């Protein structure tokens, strides 16, 4: 997995809980004390998943609480800074979610061996979107937390529901465009 996820986690933990907690997380994951990650770095899958999983016990939070805090930091602070171009012109969570597959494709296209999550779309009605999440990592809970954070970012109260292990249903507060942006 790209180091960008862990870099964002580090930023969030440092800002909310202090640098010592970050160090405790990497150590609990079996990495050396003082480990830092860089956005373009390729982090072995098992290490990345262990660091993600270590945050909850170290911070004495549930995994869901860690994902919510991570998602808020990613959507409101980290991604607007690092990936500003995707926020320019984006006006709604609906638009952003419809661009999500393209965003992950574009960001990782030039990175050899990258395996970003991919998304396909199915509208149930004008307010209800089913997104199929495809990733070996099985992070549907994280996907859901990020989708809800995106709604809050744009001031929209989204409702979500997981269907099985790879579908997230998103209900938007109002009707709007359903086409994928070009």
Nearer to ligand HEM (CB atom), residue 57 or residue 117: 117
Rounded to the nearest angstrom, the gap between the alpha carbon of residue 76 and the centroid of all alpha carbons in its chain is 11
- According to CB under 6 A, which one of 146, 151, 158, 172 is a site residue for ligand HEM? 146
User: Within 60-179, where are the H helices?
Assistant: 63-73, 79-82, 93-109, 140-153
145 touches 64 (CB < 8 A): yes
Residues 6 or more apart whose CB falls under 8 angstroms from that of 59 comprise: 13, 17, 21, 25, 66
Stretch touching ligand HEM by CB under 6 A, among 8-16, 30-38, 131-139, 157-165 = 131-139
- According to CB under 6 A, which one of 137, 152, 167, 169 is a site residue for ligand HEM? 137
Binding status of residue 24 toward ligand HEM by CB under 6 A: no
Binding status of residue 121 toward ligand HEM by CB under 6 A: no
d(CA 9, CA 2): 12
For 60, other C-beta atoms within 10 Å of its C-beta total 7
Binding status of residue 117 toward ligand HEM by CB under 6 A: yes
Query: Which two tokens mark 111?
Result: 């990175």
Stretch touching ligand HEM by CB under 6 A, among 25-33, 56-64, 97-105, 156-164 = 97-105
Binding status of residue 67 toward ligand HEM by CB under 6 A: no
Residues that bind ligand HEM (CB under 6 A): 1-2, 4-5, 75, 79, 83, 86, 100, 103-104, 107-108, 114-117, 135, 137, 139, 142-143, 146-147, 150
């Amino acid at each position: 997995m790209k180091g960008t996820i862990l870099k964002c986690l580090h930023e969030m933990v440092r800002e909310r809980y202090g640098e010592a907690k970050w160090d405790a997380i990497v150590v609990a994951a079996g990495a050396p004390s003082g480990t830092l990650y860089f956005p373009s770095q390729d982090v072995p899958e098992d290490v990345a998943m262990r660091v993600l999983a270590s945050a909850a016990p170290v911070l004495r939070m549930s995994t869901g609480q860690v994902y919510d805090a991570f998602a808020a930091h990613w959507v409101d602070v980290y991604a607007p800074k690092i990936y500003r171009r995707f926020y320019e012109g984006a006006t709604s969570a609906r638009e952003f979610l419809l661009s999500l597959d393209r965003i992950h494709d574009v960001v990782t296209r030039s990175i050899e061996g990258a395996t970003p999550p991919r998304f396909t779309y199915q509208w149930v009605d004008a307010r209800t979107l089913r997104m199929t999440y495809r990733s070996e990592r099985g992070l549907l809970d994280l996907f859901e937390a990020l989708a809800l954070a995106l709604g809050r970012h744009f001031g929209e109260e989204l409702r979500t529901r997981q269907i099985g292990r790879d579908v997230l249903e998103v209900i938007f507060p109002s009707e709007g465009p359903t086409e994928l942006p070009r």
